Amino acid sequence: MQKSAQFVALVLMMAVIGCKTHDLKEPESKDLSSYMQVRKSWKDADAARSSAAAVVLTEAEQKVDGQLRKMRLEMLSHYKSTHFFPPARNFYQSKKHIEETALFGFLQRMPKGGILHLHMSAMGDADWMVNRAMQTPEMHVYWRHHNGEHIKGEMRAFERGKAPTGFFPVQELASDVVSFKDSLRALLVFDEHIDRDSVDIWTEFERVFQRITGFVTYRPIWSDYLYEGLLILAKDNIQHAELRLPFLNTLYDLDAPANPYALADFVQTFVEVQQRIRKIDPGFTMNIIHANLRFFDQQTIWNDITFTHQNRTKYPQWLKGYDLVAEEDAGHPTLFHVENFLRLDSLETATGVSLPLYLHDGESDWVSVDNLYDAILLGTRRIGHGFNLFRFPGLMERVREEQICMEINPLSNQILGYVRDLRIHPASIFWGSGIPLTISSDDPLIFDYHGLSYDFWSIFLAWELGLADLKALCQNSLVHSAMTPEEKKKALAVWDKRWNEFIKKEQF
């Protein structure tokens, strides 16, 4: 009796197993080969959306691309084994290491085209700034604790004996104070200790601007400062610069400490500096995007817009557009100034002269900071930063459809505490979905590095790019520049020649 029950149970169990085996059989459409086909078609469809998809590499470029990909794989394998991936860590911990890599040398030699997002007052080199301050007898520095008005390290030129309390001649401090030079330099640049929340970092960031403005706008110095900044770019194989300037008419000297010089004077210096830099790079071009601070009230900004518009009429080859800058999370939203920009529309219609907008917007981690809607509605030609675009999918689609170029500053975003790990920087999504990008460095003096090679190094590894991506990013920096079509044509011809020579030399 017991045995027969066991037999029945066994038969039933086998029937159930049999049924299950039958149910689990893979349908024919899910065999491995068709699965892989579908998988590949999905990946191909994604790759076809990328902003670099249209780039067709020549045979020589394909060879360089192969070398680069091999180099990248070896580097990634090394970083995985050491559990330290530099683009996901504090930049200053890896700066020296980056400089020692073969990839960095390659990127330094690469003709990068233009830099479209660069604040002139923070474009130079801190050592040059400190040395020049020490060679300038009238340059003073505030060397006491912050007093609410002035901060330690704030520089400005004064006649000897006429400086406000707390300001001392730089030369005097250099001989009297131990390690003064290093102390002053440390007040001008960030280092690896700058690793806090973006709000705190911005406070320090704006202090540095307060320290350097009186140095940079001192008329006997500023043209040399501009030249040295451009020289840094030229050495990094950058041929075009679009400079955000907040002080079109605020240069001063000892004869006119309070009265700003006429813009004509300022522009004349620009012409002279361009001539100087063209002795180093005959193809070098540059222009200005006037940038004021979003903190100001509406009337102040309207006065500034009309001033800039008038001068755009006089100097269209130099003055290309208008922008509002500073910390978005703390300053007025773009909507606060929208009526001014709408009035600008009618000013343009009445005069027939345009003042294109190149707005800083979307440099925030918060969903509530939705300035990008206004930037796009106002017809911004490019977007300065814009990384929080990923929060607004409809707007992102519009940016892609209208091919509005975004000025991405990877290391600035990381150093200011917005995106810690560059592998998940939103711009990699934008690039993959067909939005044109350019790469810039924002305020490299304060970040204590030169040129664009560090930024390219970081995203090349973090976004796993290839030569087609690098080529498209470099081309974008000229195609989406504020130059006229004729100027762009010339600049692209210069770049094209240099790129081809570069590729020829890079074959191992």
Residue 245 C-beta: closest distance to Zn ion, Å: 12
Strand order through the sheet with 437-439: 358-361, 382-385, 405-408, 437-439
Residue 79, C-beta contacts closer than 8 angstroms, at least 6 positions apart: 85, 86, 461
The footprint of Zn ion on residues 268-327 (CB under 5 A) is none
Residue 327 C-beta: closest distance to Zn ion, Å: 10
Rounded to 5 degrees, what angle do the CA atoms 462, 386, 246 make? Answer: 115
CA-to-CA dists, residue 420 to 7, 359, 360, angstroms = 66, 24, 20
Nearer to Zn ion by Cβ, of 361 and 442: the residue is 442
Nearer to Zn ion by Cβ, of 125 and 442: the residue is 442
Provide the 8-state DSSP code for 218. B
Residue 323 C-beta: closest distance to Zn ion, Å: 8
Strand stretches in 185-284, DSSP E: 238-245
Could you give the CA distance from residue 323 to residue 445 in angstroms, rounded to a whole number?
21
DSSP states along 364-427: -S-TT--HHHHHHHTT-SEEEE-GGGGG-HHHHHHHHHHT-EEEE-HHHHHHTTS-S-GGG-TH
# binding residues, Zn ion (CB under 5 A): 1
Tokens 């700034």 label which residue?
129
| Among 250, 274, 273, CA closest to 262 | 250
Nearer to Zn ion by Cβ, of 64 and 422: the residue is 422
Nearer to Zn ion by Cβ, of 133 and 372: the residue is 372
DSSP states along 448-500: T--SSHHHHHHHHHHTT--HHHHHHHHHHHHHTSSS-HHHHHHHHHHHHHHHH
Residue 383 C-beta: closest distance to Zn ion, Å: 11
From the list 26-34, 36-44, 229-237, 434-442, the region that binds Zn ion by CB under 5 A is 434-442
Nearer to Zn ion by Cβ, of 116 and 503: the residue is 116
- SS3 (DSSP) at 114: strand
Residue 126 C-beta: closest distance to Zn ion, Å: 18
From the list 76-84, 105-113, 207-215, 439-447, the region that binds Zn ion by CB under 5 A is 439-447
Provide the 8-state DSSP code for 120. G
From the list 180-188, 392-400, 441-449, 475-483, the region that binds Zn ion by CB under 5 A is 441-449
Residue 221 C-beta: closest distance to Zn ion, Å: 23
The footprint of Zn ion on residues 391-430 (CB under 5 A) is none
The footprint of Zn ion on residues 256-275 (CB under 5 A) is none
From the list 221-229, 232-240, 435-443, 472-480, the region that binds Zn ion by CB under 5 A is 435-443
Nearer to Zn ion by Cβ, of 328 and 442: the residue is 442
Strand order through the sheet with 139-142: 155-157, 139-142, 167-169
Nearer to Zn ion by Cβ, of 183 and 210: the residue is 210
Nearer to Zn ion by Cβ, of 123 and 491: the residue is 123
Residue 199 C-beta: closest distance to Zn ion, Å: 17
Residue 411 C-beta: closest distance to Zn ion, Å: 12
- SS3 (DSSP) at 170: helix
For Zn ion, the binding residue among 61, 65, 442, 455 (CB under 5 A) is 442
Nearer to Zn ion by Cβ, of 52 and 123: the residue is 123
Could you give the CA distance from residue 439 to residue 117 in angstroms, rounded to a whole number?
8
The footprint of Zn ion on residues 175-194 (CB under 5 A) is none
| Strand pairing class (358-361; 382-385) | parallel
Nearer to Zn ion by Cβ, of 370 and 442: the residue is 442
Nearer to Zn ion by Cβ, of 442 and 455: the residue is 442
From the list 75-83, 152-160, 251-259, 436-444, the region that binds Zn ion by CB under 5 A is 436-444
From the list 264-272, 437-445, 457-465, 479-487, the region that binds Zn ion by CB under 5 A is 437-445
Residue nearest to Zn ion (CB): 442
Residue 263 C-beta: closest distance to Zn ion, Å: 22
Residue 440 C-beta: closest distance to Zn ion, Å: 8
The footprint of Zn ion on residues 128-167 (CB under 5 A) is none
Residue 442 C-beta: closest distance to Zn ion, Å: 5
- SS3 (DSSP) at 52: coil
At position 323, the amino acid (one-letter code) is: D
The contact set with Zn ion (CB under 5 A) reads 442
